[in-house]
Structure 1
Amino acid sequence: MPQLNPAPWFAMLVFTWLVFLTIIPPKVSAHTFPNEPTMQSTEKPKTQPWNWPWH
């Protein structure tokens, strides 16, 4: 049974994890957002009541 021989798939598993752990994290950590978030004020805006004439 060839699936019991770990030689073909174990090397691919190790190589794949080496790629994931060496190439991808720097690319993800170097990502910058196009718009930096701004802090919103804690004051609530004053609202004006509607004075519509009801018919």
Structure 2
Amino acid sequence: MPQLNPAPWFAILIFSWLVFLIVLPPKVIAHTFPNEPTLQSAEKPQTNSWTWPWQ
């Protein structure tokens, strides 16, 4: 089984991590959603208890 020279593989590893950590995050953060969520009111809706006919 041949032994691999670690020099080119280490450079590929470092370059791929640089791409993942420097190039991709700004592209992901710059993504905006077309529909921004709207804030709901802090007031809780009025809930009524059920009236069961058999109780």
> Same fold judged by TM-score > 0.5?
yes
- 5+ residue gaps in structure 2? 47-55
Which digits, 9 at most, give the CA deviation of each residue in 1:18-45, with x for residues without a partner? 1111110100111111001112345676
In 2, Cα distance between equivalents of 1:2 and 1:31: 44
Q: Normalising by the residue count of structure 1, what TM-score does the alignment of the two structures yield?
A: 0.62
For these two proteins, the number of residue pairs brought into alignment is 53
Superposition RMSD on alpha carbons, in Å? 2.5
Taking only the aligned residue pairs, the percentage that are identical comes to: 71
Q: Normalising by the residue count of structure 2, what TM-score does the alignment of the two structures yield?
A: 0.62
Secondary structure at the aligned position of 1:25 is classed as helix
